[in-house]
Amino acid sequence: MTVVRFAPSPTGRIHIGNARTAILNWLFALKTGGSFILRYDDTDVARSTQEFADGIAADVAWLGITPTRVEWQSKRFDRYAAVASALRAAGRLYPCYETADELERRRKRMQARGLPPIYDRAALKLTDAERARLEAEGRRPHWRFRLDGRDVQWHDLIRGPQHVNTANLSDPVLVREDGSYLYTLPSVIDDMDFGVSHVIRGEDHVVNTAVQIEITEALGGAVPAYAHHSLLTGADGKGLSKRLGALSIAAMRADGLEPMAVVSMAALLGTSENIHPCPDISELVAGFDLGKLSRAPARFDERELLHLNARLLHLLPWTAVKDRLPGESEAFWLAVRGNVERLTDAGLWRQVIDGPVADVTAPEDRSFLTEALALLPSEPWTGDTWKAWTEAVKSTTGRKGKTLFMPLRLALTGLDHGPELAALLPLIGRVAAAQRLQPGR
């Protein structure tokens, strides 16, 4: 069975880049009939908070993702400790006593000599007496995983054949001096224990994959399939890191964007498909294929997202929005939906309908409005009223085109743009329309 996971750290809110990873995993799970794990990588207990975790859960739910299960790494420390002990016993996890300053000086010396700044495994050469002396001085070891130093190969479902020679990498630190865990070991253990079959994540983890494969194999686990998608850049081609707050899912929700607009854009960015609004997730699922994802960076443009949001709203039927527009009617929504970028914009057109509206009539059009008022038909009004009325006004005044329609629009709405007046006029009603056509009002 397909099992995927989305593993945010609850040290902040998720942004569009995180959300894209979550959405790709979710679509893959739906496409394959698999399960989706929301796993909080909260081993950094000092920075992880329940507030952030709750916020992430709200963001994920808003995007329409329903996790099959939720896991917390902070509840699995005993499991990680047991595995770490097994790796120590097998000689794969070894203690190192260098301080951060010592390691930095060593890296600089190697770089000065034109050598790659790879850890030299000096700790493996320490005798028992030397380790005892260092610990007597108060030093506490951090623990590194001893890599095989071989060419690790895998077939990436997005990037194709990949290989990383771990001889070119430093042995990774898995356990800090204080006994806390870095990302790598808990992630591997969780993937094994939870039966994760596919790891879909950003390309910044490609090198990590080689390390995780070696750890997985050292533990006798099944290596999952990997897929590394490209990272997002801004419209200018630069990274998004400086603007992540504005690009958080919480900010997008607060800005009145539709979740399916965000999902549509995140799912289609960087693929061979044109970005278009998908009102229902089923369309995205049907067309989902990791092979469609390009290796080139995908550009995220907030203006394009807002435009996509508007296009999505223009497609939505009344049933999709009525619960969020209390007191309104289907006729109102069908009249205004083509003129909203966010659903909250519908309220602006309610204000136009209910009035008052500004008097922006040009002096030369006032006599024309008097004639139009005299021809205003009796109620009830339907969608055909506007055409019948304007035909009568055209016949009487001789005006046509913009000189006919624009003065009427300005008088009735106070604006030179907006919904089709054939739909809007019955909502305004005869009493209000007559008042707005009055000369010198």
Residues 358, 426 within the same domain:
yes
Q: What is the pTM of this model?
A: 0.92
Share of the chain above pLDDT 90, in %: 94
Residues 187, 73 within the same domain:
yes
Q: Is position 115 within any domain?
A: no
CA distance 124 to 170: 13
Residues 228, 245 within the same domain:
no
Q: Is position 122 within any domain?
A: no
At which of 319, 340, 366 does a domain end? Answer: 319
CA distance 176 to 181: 6
Q: Is position 275 within any domain?
A: yes
241: pLDDT confidence band, cut at 50, 70 and 90?
A: low
Residue 440: pLDDT above 80?
no
Token output for 395: 């016949």
CATH number at residue 391: 1.10.10.350
Residues 20, 64 within the same domain:
yes
CATH number at residue 224: 3.40.50.620
What mean pLDDT comes out for the span 178-182?
95
DSSP state of 161: E
Residues 295, 225 within the same domain:
no
CB 199, CB 191: distance < 8 Å = yes
β-strand pairing of 93-96 with 142-145: antiparallel
28: pLDDT confidence band, cut at 50, 70 and 90?
A: very high
Residues 417, 289 within the same domain:
no
Q: Is position 15 within any domain?
A: yes
Nearest Cα neighbor of 421 from 435, 436, 410, 434 is 410
Q: How far is CA 431 from CA 224, 299, 376, 405, 417, in A?
A: 69, 51, 10, 20, 22
At which of 274, 301, 319 does a domain end? Answer: 319
Residue 100 burial by Cβ neighbours in a 10 Å radius (0-12, 13-18, 19+) = exposed
Q: How far is CA 357 from CA 24, 345, 372, in A?
A: 47, 17, 18
Number of domains in the chain: 3
Residues 366, 406 within the same domain:
yes
Residue 191: pLDDT above 70?
yes
- Long-range contacts of the stretch 195-198 (C-beta < 8 A, 24+): 195/1, 195/3, 196/3, 196/4, 196/5, 196/37, 196/224, 197/1, 197/2, 197/3, 197/4, 197/34, 197/224, 197/225, 198/2, 198/3, 198/4, 198/28, 198/157, 198/224, 198/225, 198/226, 198/227
243: pLDDT confidence band, cut at 50, 70 and 90?
A: low
Q: Is position 143 within any domain?
A: no
439: pLDDT confidence band, cut at 50, 70 and 90?
A: confident
At which of 301, 319, 337 does a domain end? Answer: 319
Residues 378, 428 within the same domain:
yes
CATH number at residue 308: 1.10.1160.10
Residues 222, 285 within the same domain:
no
Token output for 82: 């047991």
Q: Is position 134 within any domain?
A: no
Residue range(s) defining the domain that contains residue 249: 241-319
Token output for 436: 């707005």
Residues 227, 257 within the same domain:
no
Nearest Cα neighbor of 437 from 389, 380, 381 is 389
Residues 193, 52 within the same domain:
yes
Residues 215, 250 within the same domain:
no
- Give the three-state DSSP class for 441: coil
Q: Is position 343 within any domain?
A: no
Residues 6+ apart with CB under 8 A from 40: 7, 8, 9, 10, 48, 53, 56, 70, 71, 72, 73, 74
263: pLDDT confidence band, cut at 50, 70 and 90?
A: very high
Q: Is position 383 within any domain?
A: yes
What mean pLDDT comes out for the span 204-212?
97
